[in-house]
Structure 1
Amino acid sequence: MNTRWRFNIGITKIGVLSLAVIITSCNALKRVEEDELLLTKNNVFADEEKVVDEDIQSLIAQEPNSHVFGFPLRLHLYNLAKKNPDSSYQAWLHRKPKREQRWINLLSRKQVDRLGESFVVKGASEWLKSIGEPPAVIDTARVRKSLQRLSAYYGSKGYFNNTTSYDLVPTGRKQRAEVNYNVALGKPYYIDSLSRQIASPAIDSIYELHREDSFIKEGKQFDLVDFNLERERLTSLFRNSGVHNFQESSITYDILRDTSLLRDDQKMDVELNIDNLRSRGDTIVSSREYKVHYFEKINIFADYNFDVDINSLQSLDYENYTIYYKDKLRYKPKALTDAVFMDKDSLYRDLDRLRTYRQITNLNTFRYPNIEFIEDPTQTRLISNIYLAPRPKYSLGLDLDVTHSNIQRLGVGFSTSLITRNVFAGAETLSLSAGGTFGLLSDESLPEDFFSEIRGDINLTFPRIWFPFLNTKKIIPYYMLPQSRIATGTSFQKNIGLDRQTFNNVYGFNWSPTDFKRHTVELLNIQYVRNVNPDRFFNVYQSTYDRLDEIADDFEDEPTLSDFYQTPEGSDDPRLIIPEGTTGFTEAILDDGLVPTDSETFRDVSRIEERRVRLTENNLVFASNYTFSKNNRVDINDNSFYQFRFKLESAGNLLAGVSNIIPFEMSDTGDRLVFGVPFSQYVKTEFDYIKHWDLSRGQVLAFRSFFGVAVPYGNSDNIPFIRSYFAGGSNDNRAWNPYSLGPGSTRNVNDFNEANLKIALNLEYRFPIVGDFKGALFADAGNIWNVWDDVDDPDATLNDFASLADIALGTGMGLRYDFTYFVFRVDFGFKTYNPALDPSRRWFTDYNFANGELQIGINYPF
């Protein structure tokens, strides 16, 4: 065994050494001619002061070759490719007999490449070039283009008289140079006065009412950004003030300055011009004044398709709306009108139009709607036609996946879902789903190696806040996309842990005031967990059994305990029998007075028994919770954003209140029972903050912080396992496996370590490597602790600020491959600071591959 390990280490060292030799032997100037210079860096100076602004740096037309840890990897990959792979093909062809040459020439190039070494030479060269990067040879034409961009940029900031130049600065290394871009700014220009020429009286009146909000102000330095922002502000203002057809192109600006006068004050006059509405006909372009519009009529066409003759439809008037339908109206009128935010005789607002689009889409009953506006002859009244094309009444989905984990040797899962829309004619959605996972277990200690899990769920969604006897429309308007959800589900596990059966029920709401904020309230979140085989506890939690058996070794000669031991075949070490021996030995220690109650043995066995009872007892969680989340990410390509989530959950208070009126059954320990199960009572809160910084050229710095605590009280001395925290894993501290870190400074106390307080801090630097391959360097800090519960182990509890010294630190590296729709991720974490060790050995003691952890995940961890 040791020989093989040393051999593997030797092979690894040889491989690393070989790779290092290959890399260092690469010549970065292989494709750079003698009269050319390789670009190593760009520097921008404005009035001799270095500029580090990323927006300005992005104006440079030519960038140096990309680097990975300071090494131009893609450049060297490009240089490894043969310069002319076709010449290798010709040489290979001439080595063939003439008869074979004539036959090969009749084939397609793809067929030829499959014949021999040409496929390897040419294909590998093309692949290396595609993932590589040609040398960034300094191109003076691109340098001049960069100077033009810089001049235009600073001109847009009011430096109209700027001048630009560049210098090539040798780096001291052969055929390498930096480019310094120099910008002499000159004096900036300022806005001296503002005037306006507005053709339409209605537009002029609206502008006058809101002119103080202008981005363009007297005395302010000229900035083209302000002019663009002002155009956007005015366009939004007019369209939300009744001018539904306002065109942004109607807005122009004139910069007025008398050039015949010799002035050196850098002041300019700005004139705002807003023309009339322009319409292009077949032969001419006409113009007319903008008008403020009010709605004359709003028509809703339900179940619309292009083949329907509108004149053949039936109609129904409901609350100032006219609903058209064919044969039979399949929707409650209120469900349709509540999704429309434009009212008869109301002023047109573009905001109402956008909200109507969002809410109709949120119904999940119609495809993206088409909204049409028709002006009447007076040009001040509008008719709105809203065309709704229904989605299919039923949708069926199927899914199949294969899984593997440290528990499952192989698992095959399937799921199916049936979605029914417009269930009660109010745009409700009913979803029925069922699934299962079946496979083979990796744990040979269990009596069977086959496991299964079957689950089923029912979800009913209402596109409104459904709360009896309360009108929530004024509190949560429909433009906030309110939804109510009623869900129930169950799952059955066999040969997984203690064979758990779970029943879930949820009744809650959610709404989104903006695209970036979301509120979720679950008035009832009921979860009942039943452990079918609690006697298998010591089979499943093997490390807990080993600790108990180690304690029992000191009592092997006790005659009254002899029936609790059994010596395995091929061993001379008696072991406790599961479950008769473990139960009997525990009772002998705790109940029969075999050892003093203040002894260490009594305390250790008591802790093991408390954990066994907690993890094997059935749980009833009767909770309510509120979650607020916010993010400012614009789209999937936005790499500079933040996310914040706050959650507050309370469990057991309703049942505790009822117990004051209706007497509940009591357990031997004084807990109140519901159907024979003690209900959990606790309060739990979580804070989760994520921040990303875009460092340019595909580099991103990502940070995450998490704090969560659950405090038991009343009917509970601890938090149920299903609501506890754990540390480690591919989305947490990647230097430890899931459930293996903590609590506190304990070391692998249990198979599944959990606690009721958690702190996590993560920092990750992400960078491109080659093509869709990306790399990462990360540092993960955090741990879990017990606090304000029934755990008395000082190493596992958070006692004061000194306990924060138990925060573990894992560092490492990762490799990702971007499949566009998802990211496959492999991380390797090293235990940099391990609080489970003695204080003098915590830093870097386990910082090696033998104690590192390989983590595999899908998508980024945060």
Structure 2
Amino acid sequence: MNISVFLFFNGIYEFNFIFAEHAAIFFWSSAILNVNIIKALRIFTRLYKSSRRIIGLIVVLVMIFTSCSPVKYVPEDQYLLDRYRIRVREGKLKKEEIKNYVRQKPNKRILGLRFHLGMYNLSKKDSERGLSNWLRKIGEEPVIYDEFLSEKSVDFLKSYLDNKGYYNSVVKDTVQLKRKRARILYKIEVNEPFKIKNINFRCNDSVLADDFFHDTINTVIVKEDNFDLDILQNERTRIEKRLKNKGYYKFNKDFIFFEADSSSRTKKVDLVLNIHQPQKKTPDNDVVRSHHKKYLINKVYVFTNFDQKEALSQGEGYYTDLDTVYVDGIYYISKGEDKLNKRVIFQSNFVQEGALYSLEKVNKTYKHLNSLRLFKIINIQFEEIDSLQNDSLHLGYINCKMKLTKYFLQSYTIEIQGTNSYGNIGVGGNFLYQHRSLFGGAEVTDFRVNGAIEKIDEENIAGNNYTTELGGNILVSIPKFILPVFKAEKFSKKYSPKTQISAGYNFQDRIDYRRSIANMSYGYSWDGNKYLKHSVKLLELNAVNLPYATQEFKNYIDSTYLRSSYDNHLVSVTNYSLIFNNQDIKKSRDFYFLRLNSEISGNILSGISELTNAVTDENGKYMVFGVPFSQYAKFDLDIRYYNVIDNSSTIAYRIFGGVGIPYGNSLALPFEKMYFSGGANSIRAWNVRDLGPGSYAGGSRTRFPDQTGDIKLEANFEYRFKMFWVLEGALFVDAGNVWNLNSNEFEGGLFRRDEFYKEFAIGSGAGARFDFSFVIFRLDLGVKLRDPALPEGDRWIHGNRSLSWQNDFTINIGIGYPF
């Protein structure tokens, strides 16, 4: 059996134990959280150590509760709701949408099994303590067929059909009662729908009329579409947002109503959309119609360090002790001196003094302020100023008050790591420091120092018995574009950009070599539209220096094209990434995720070297500061689709493809830029970097360079389902491999168009996820189904030989979902 743990950094497997997190002082709540993390990790470690027993226990539980009768606790003369079906005759209806209107659903199933009902049935009927009580809590009691709810379902389904325009349709339910089980069939006979013949718009408010009628071209109501009430509601919402963005602060969709004139013979509907005028009382208490007003922003007040607790306890007295500064159309109000740069608020604010109210601009302000990661509470309020109302011009005035409550500016975290690299035990630690506004401009700065030491098994390796690793890095995220040529303020307000600067250093002292890696990067990230994000690294430098390596190690890599990956080298990269994600965390619906990444390296340095006739080394490579630089192009695409079945089940699909092409000054990609397969986030039936390239059969888990390639193709499928407590289950299938482009030093590792598809590895398995809300631990058991390292014709393991626990099973431990 192989064991692979989620890789955090440079092949060291980590379990993080957070000691404390301080933010000015040590908080009791933080202590509780950290204790919970430690408890969770201890539980998870025990689960990992007894993985065989867990798997066996799950199998036994499945066998036990599936053997139990599902009607064990169904009372006499009652029936377990076994299944229900919906049969639709004619009509274009979405069955998944219709199911929401069925009032009574049977017990949940996982792969056809009533897992939760089975757990409930394992309990003892008259016992309310111990194991039985626990089984009843995590299980699900039997759903008893209810005739009243079945009739209600029929009524709800009829109402749904009416709302969609299918009036006078017929819905019937048929119930089959057998062996204490009830099965319901809902039969829907759909009539011809009513269609919209004409749509007219009417508005008697002369103030509102122009803004309203000019927008009717954008209506979502289309002639000859079904007379669908949901579409009418969407139109009301659309008009409300539109008018609120045009300054009508008090307008809402209750002022919008429809008149429908229908014919049962032609099934056509003439539709009129009306805008009501608001009403007001005269001094004589008569109710008269008035006009909708546009509202101008009178003043903008920003409380930059608002304390809700003090404001509640002190009442109006809290506001009398505040300082006010007026800058660029904003009144900045704070208690004492606030070091926050006023320009940061100005850049994130879209509610401007003297401008018309706009709901869209209010939402943009929320979004931009939240993206600063500086405020834990953002509250934007508006107050109407009665004394400034101008009824003759139909204008109103409102003040805007933004109450911003900050996070603690500084925090630090200490972590201890237990490490295990192929059985070699070690210990490591991290110190992390964060400042949310280092220079007063909401510059989020993260500083990290790490170190680790690991004892090597003396029986396997002679000489030095320890490996050490030391490093540190700093990342500064600035909430604006810092450009050498222009300020790009308009772009900054529209797309919420960030400038990101980072630098780091890592030193590794291993048995076979000693290596130091230095890196720095400078780039930008910004929002595109609602679902798009962009990232550009104008410059990323990585320098690798290998001052020492054993002769055995050198002899090994000298015989392969990987030699250039372990030579001293410099990597200069320009990178662009695009991310599309249409997930809506407020709604349980399907969504897509796409990441496109492209990078080029060494072209500028190569051009300069050629123009200046720079000196080359003995291998003909140009050098910078005595170190050869890498030159390559790399492109990869990651596409994911998440099919949300219900609140407890999801199917995740993933396809990944990537290629890296070395050229010019490089024979191979830098080692850190090469693709690999296997491990907790890849093909889980293999250890990380233990698969490929191609049909290479060089053996598993050498202590020399891992198995990598220039091309990677991978596909993953995972069915995820909630079980009980914090436990979630998963079933998965992974397929893919890596290949080399220009060298066949790894026998069978070269990418060949007519052969590569025969070299796909396929693995399957099951996993458990422990969702502790603040972190998700993952345990996956992968099994090889098809191994490309075996001779052609014998690659499918099933049917050719029996599975070996030692060679064909791999346990992977990770944090978070694999994709």
Q: TM-score range by the shorter chain?
A: 0.7 to 0.9
> In the alignment, residue 132 of structure 1 is paired with which amino acid?
G
Q: Is the 8 A contact 2:737 2:761 kept in 1?
A: yes
Residue number in structure 2 paired with 1:549: none
CA distances 1:217-260 after superposition (whole Å, capped 9, x unpaired) = 44432111101110111111101112123223322334456xxx
Q: How does 1:17-36 map to 2 (within 5 A)?
A: 22-23=64-65, 25-36=67-78
Q: 2: CA distance between counterparts of 1:12 and 1:194? A: 64
Query: Which residue type is aligned with residue 78 of structure 2?
Result: E
Structure 1: where are the runs of 5+ without partners?
1-7, 87-121, 539-582, 587-604
For residue 345 of structure 2, what is the amino acid of its counterpart?
A: L
Q: Per-residue displacement from partner, 1:433-478 (whole Å, max 9, x unpaired)?
A: 323334444574153444433222222222111111234335x342
The answer on whether the counterparts of 1:491 and 1:501 sit within 8 Å (CA) in structure 2 is yes
Residues 819 and 27 of structure 1: CA distance in aligned 2, closer, same or farther (over 3 Å): same
**Which residue identity lines up with residue 158 of structure 2 in the other structure?**
S
Q: 1:510 touches 1:520 (CA, 8 Å); kept in 2?
A: yes
Which of 353, 368, 371 does residue 380 from structure 2 map onto?
371
C-alpha contact 1:785 1:798 (8 A) present in aligned 2 = yes
Match of 2:518 in 1: 503
**Inter-CA distance 388–138: structure 2 relative to 1 (3 Å threshold):** closer
Q: Which moved more, 1:477-486 or 1:154-163?
A: 154-163
In 2, distance between residues paired with 1:669 and 1:508? Answer: 33
1:55 corresponding residue in structure 2: 97
Q: What residue is the counterpart of 2:748 in the other structure?
A: 795
Secondary structure of the structure 2 residue equivalent to 1:237: helix
The correspondence of residues 4-19 of structure 1 with structure 2, limited to 5 A, is: none
Determine helix, strand or coil for the equivalent of 2:452.
strand
CA pair 389-128 structure 1, distance change in 2 beyond 3 A: closer
Contact 1:396 1:416 in 2 (8 A): no
807-816 or 820-829, larger mean C-alpha shift: 820-829
CA shift at 1:33, angstroms?
3.9
In structure 2, the CA distance between the partners of 1:716 and 1:142, relative to structure 1 (3 Å rule), is same
1:78 aligns with one of 120, 123, 130: 120
Q: Which residue, out of 160, 180, 188, partners 2:193? A: 188
Shift of residue 199, structure 1, vs aligned partner: 5.0
Instruction: Give the gaps of 5 or more residues in structure 2.
Output: 1-49, 312-316
Output the CA distance in 1 between the equivalents of 2:533 and 2:755.
37
Residue 755 of structure 2 aligns to a residue whose secondary structure is helix
1:338 to 2:353 alignment: no
Over the residues paired in the alignment, what is the CA RMSD in angstroms?
Answer: 3.4
User: How big is each residue's C-alpha offset from its partner over 1:607-642, in whole Å with a ceiling of 9 and x where there is no partner?
Assistant: 753356335322311111000111100117645111
Task: Give the Cα separation in 1 of the matches to 2:654 and 2:363.
Answer: 34
One-letter code aligned to 1:209: H
Deviation at 1:402, TM superposition (A): 3.0
Shift of the alpha carbon at 1:728?
Answer: 0.5
Give the C-alpha shift of residue 662 in structure 1: 4.0
Alignment match, 2:479: 463
Q: Distance in 1 between matches of 2:803 and 2:70?
A: 33
Report the alpha carbon displacement of residue 530 of structure 1 after superposing the two structures with TM: 2.1
Tell me the TM-score normalised to structure 1 length: 0.79
Counterpart amino acid of 2:598?
A: L
Equivalent residue in structure 2 for 1:290, among 289, 292, 300: 292
Which residue matches 2:357? 348
SS where residue 118 of structure 2 aligns?
helix
Q: Which residue of 1 aligns with 2:275?
A: 274
Aligned match for 2:722, one of 762, 768, 772: 768
Q: State the alpha-carbon separation in 2 of the partners of residues 329 and 131 from structure 1.
A: 51
C-alpha distance in 2 between matches for 1:496 and 1:315? 62
1:245 is paired with a residue whose SS is coil
Aligned match of 2:575:
625
State the AA in 1 paired with 2:293: K
- The Cα shift of 1:425 comes to 4.2
In 2, distance between residues paired with 1:11 and 1:763? 26
User: What CA deviation, in whole Å up to 9, does each residue of 1:370-409 have, x standing for no partner?
Assistant: 4344443226254544535463674122132433333464
The aligned residue for residue 815 of structure 2 is 858
Query: How far apart are residue 720 of structure 1 and its match?
Result: 1.1
Of residues 693-702 and 300-309 in structure 1, the stretch that sits farther from structure 2 once superposed is 300-309
Q: Tell me, in whole angstroms, the C-alpha distance in 1 between the residues paired with 2:744 and 2:345.
A: 56
CA distance in 2, matches of 1:142, 1:488: 63
Q: Do residues 710 (structure 1) and 660 (structure 2) align? A: yes
Alignment partner of 1:848 out of 788, 803, 807: 803
Render the CA deviation track for 1:723-755: whole Å, top value 9, x for unaligned: 111110111011111111000101135551111
Matching of residues 299-338 of structure 1 within 5 Å: 299-303=301-305, 306=311, 309=319, 313-318=323-328, 320-321=329-330, 323=332, 330-338=339-347
Is residue 671 of structure 1 aligned with residue 683 of structure 2? Answer: no
Contact 2:466 2:511 in 1 (8 A): no
Question: Paired residue for 2:644?
Answer: 694
Q: Which residue of 1 aligns with 2:9?
A: none
Q: How far 1:69 sits from its partner (Å)?
A: 3.6
Asked whether the equivalents of residues 45 and 183 of structure 1 are also in contact (C-alpha less than 8 Å), the reply is yes
1:782 Cα shift? 0.6
In structure 2, distance between residues paired with 1:490 and 1:697: 45
Aligned residues: 744
1:809 aligned residue (762, 779, 804) = 762
Which structure dedicates a bigger proportion of its chain to strand? 2
Q: Which secondary structure state, in structure 2, belongs to the residue aligned with residue 44 of structure 1?
A: strand
User: In structure 2, how many angstroms separate the alpha carbons of the residues matched to 1:650 and 1:627?
Assistant: 12
**Counterpart contact for 2:565–2:668, Cα < 8 Å:** no
Distance 1:16 1:235 in 2: 54
Tell me the equivalent position of 2:695.
745
> Which residue of the other structure, out of 734, 749, 756, is the alignment partner of 1:780?
734
Deviations 1:15-69 (A, max 9, x none): 9997787456422232234423333221112348997711212322222233334
Work out which of the residue numbers 399, 404, 407 in structure 1 matches 2:414: 399
Deviation at 1:11, TM superposition (A): 11
Say if 1:178 and 1:435 are closer, same or farther in 2 by CA, change over 3 A. Answer: same
Does structure 2 retain, via aligned residues, the 8 Å contact 1:357–1:368?
Answer: no
Out of 395, 400, 403, the position equivalent to 1:380 is 395
Distance 2:281 2:349 in 1: 31
Secondary structure class of the residue paired with 2:248: coil
1:313–1:22 distance in 2 versus 1, CA, 3 Å: closer
- The answer as to 2:176 corresponding to 1:222 is no
Residues 316-369 of structure 1, C-alpha deviations (whole Å, 9 max, x = no match): 443x55555677674555433222223444433222222122222323344544
Q: In the alignment, does 2:146 pair up with 1:139?
A: yes
Residues 1:804 and 1:446: Cα distance change in structure 2 (over 3 Å): farther
Question: Conserved in 1, the CA contact under 8 Å of 2:324 and 2:331?
Answer: no
Equivalent residues in 2 for 1:55-134 (5 A)? 55-85=97-127, 122-134=129-141
Cα distance in 2 between the residues matched to 1:14 and 1:650:
50
Shift of 1:709: 0.9
TM-score by length of 2: 0.83
1:153 alignment counterpart:
160
For residue 507 of structure 1, report the CA deviation from its aligned partner. Answer: 0.4
Say whether 1:244 aligns with 2:249: yes
Q: Equivalents in 2 of 1:484, 1:834: separation in Å?
A: 45
**Match in the other structure for 2:783:** 830
> Identity of paired residues, percent?
27
Structure 2 residue identity aligned to 1:618: N
Name the SS for the 1:403 alignment partner.
strand
Amino acid paired to 1:66: K
The answer as to 2:255 corresponding to 1:253 is no
Does the 8 A contact of 1:734 with 1:855 survive in 2? yes
Distance of aligned partners of 1:179 and 1:771 in 2 relative to their CA distance in 1, 3 Å threshold: farther
User: Is contact 2:481–2:492 with CA below 8 Å preserved after alignment?
Assistant: no
Residue 292 of structure 2 aligns to which amino acid in structure 1? Y
| SS of 2:348 mapped into structure 1 | coil
Distance 1:706 1:515 in 2: 24
C-alpha change, 1:857 and 1:831, in structure 2 (3 Å) is same
Distance 2:67 2:691 in 1: 43
Tell me the distance in 2 between the aligned counterparts of 1:501 and 1:278: 76
> Secondary structure at the residue paired with 2:119?
helix
Q: Does 1:819 align with 2:772?
A: yes
1:44/1:50 contact within 8 Å kept: no
Cα distance 1:772–1:145, how it changes in 2: closer, same or farther (>3 A)? farther
Structure 2 Cα separation of the partners of residues 84 and 68 of structure 1: 27
Distance in 1, matches of 2:423 and 2:56, equals 35
